Structure 1
């Protein structure tokens, strides 16, 4: 069996913390192939100070940043699909979005599909919408048969890691995250985390790829943080296993493909 990993996301840069490490880890595997779907170009996002994008050009700017980031990582998606929906309005697209994501999954037959869970990590409505959409599309295509779609994963932040970060923020004077507010990080119970991947190699490439997203630098990581602190954050990927059902007490896996035949 090959190792095709499909990430389905709302905006350019959504995949940074979720996929880069696994892509670097498996880049030399001849059976590995990353597939990426972006529902929007991120045209309604903020613009970091010093970046000469405008609200009118931001979508094209962020799309170019994302392409440059994958090149910096050293492994580009095959294919990289842009659906072109308006940023901030994915919840209004309806069943048509499910059809579009299902079409990609049907054509590419990924072994593992990754996206956002119900909390959207930040509560962003587009994150929540694309996660729910992908879950529906995953099960639709899987029920049709023809192979692939062995595992569906939701990116998440374990409660313990979130609490450690909260203490750091308090010490640094940044103020705690408020999970009742949109755009602030949420966590899931530690027992819900089924895969924990720790990356030690390729962190320089991963950081270089992150930094290509210049227009979003101010929201991706604490601007006052050091490169070493940033590397520490991106060295860990954590996932909730949405499918197949995971029994309580099941051992935590250490790779998104672990256990697949």
Structure 2
């Protein structure tokens, strides 16, 4: 069983959709997805048919449509309904307990969330990531499962390559000191590299369902071939059990379990 905990609808679109797609046909595979918010504070581009009151429901529907496009909707999809942009103001013990309750019920073999960089420095990402780590530690005593905890990351070498490509294409580059901009982690901290090339079209199909935020998620106009190359790998840091030394990267979230 695989559990993913994120802050907003679409957070998982670039992180774990490939892993889920790769395991679509596996007997016994169970996928649990937890969203802390409905993303109601997201950007509303001019002309898009949404209001501040309706955006959360629209983004929830987009998330559900995206997983249908990927071809593997979650077996359990929980919406915690905390305020988008306000997770850092939620008592950490409360958010941790809500996540831990779900994990204790499901007893996933692998849990995945955000690390301390939040990929983009987003405070909601950082908060839900820290609370997921704490929930994993709490729930480990609930019985079998809980064999691995992962943080989705972007290797620094990949980040640098993307920056170079963006400059070559006259696209805006990221500033890793700014919130909402991507950032990398040292390559030696990357313990999982998943080859998602065979399912990249399905990942892209899912991303395209996030219509309200597509202008934030991808460059305009959307280049689907380039997007497929971007999502052709998934990377993660192994948090639990702690790495014991240099080893070849894992190639699947369940490797060795």
Q: Same fold (TM over 0.5)?
A: yes
CA deviation after TM superposition for structure 1 residue 17, in Å? 1.1
Query: 1:116: which partner in 2?
Result: 114
Instruction: Identify unmatched segments of 5+ residues in structure 1.
Output: none
**Within 5 A, what are the aligned runs for 1:1-16?**
4-16=1-13
How far, CA to CA, are the matches of 2:20 and 2:46 in structure 1? 30
CA deviation after TM superposition for structure 1 residue 145, in Å? 4.2
Query: 1:139: which partner in 2?
Result: 137
CA RMSD of aligned residues (A): 1.1
How far, CA to CA, are the matches of 1:189 and 1:75 in structure 2? 32
User: Are positions 1:252 and 2:244 aligned together?
Assistant: no
Query: 1:57: which partner in 2?
Result: 54
CA deviation after TM superposition for structure 1 residue 225, in Å? 4.3
**Within 5 A, what are the aligned runs for 1:78-157?**
78-94=75-91, 95-142=93-140, 144-157=141-154
User: Are positions 1:210 and 2:207 aligned together?
Assistant: yes
Q: For each residue in 1:106-150, what CA deviation from the matched residue of structure 2 results, as whole angstroms up to 9, or x when unmatched?
A: 0000110011000000000000000000000000111x2411111
How far, CA to CA, are the matches of 2:222 and 2:54 in structure 1? 28
Structure 1 residue runs of 4 or more that deviate by more than 4 Å after TM superposition: none
Task: Tell me the number of residue pairs that the alignment of Structure 1 and Structure 2 aligns.
Answer: 256
How far, CA to CA, are the matches of 1:167 and 1:16 in structure 2? 23
1:39 corresponds to which of 33, 36, 39: 36
Structure 1 residue matching 2:14: 3-state secondary structure: helix
| Stretch deviating more after TM superposition (218-227 or 88-97) | 218-227
CA deviation after TM superposition for structure 1 residue 49, in Å? 4.3
How far, CA to CA, are the matches of 1:98 and 1:186 in structure 2? 25
Instruction: Identify unmatched segments of 5+ residues in structure 2.
Output: none
Query: 1:177: which partner in 2?
Result: 174
Normalised by the size of structure 1, how large is the TM-score? 0.95
Normalised by the size of structure 2, how large is the TM-score? 0.97
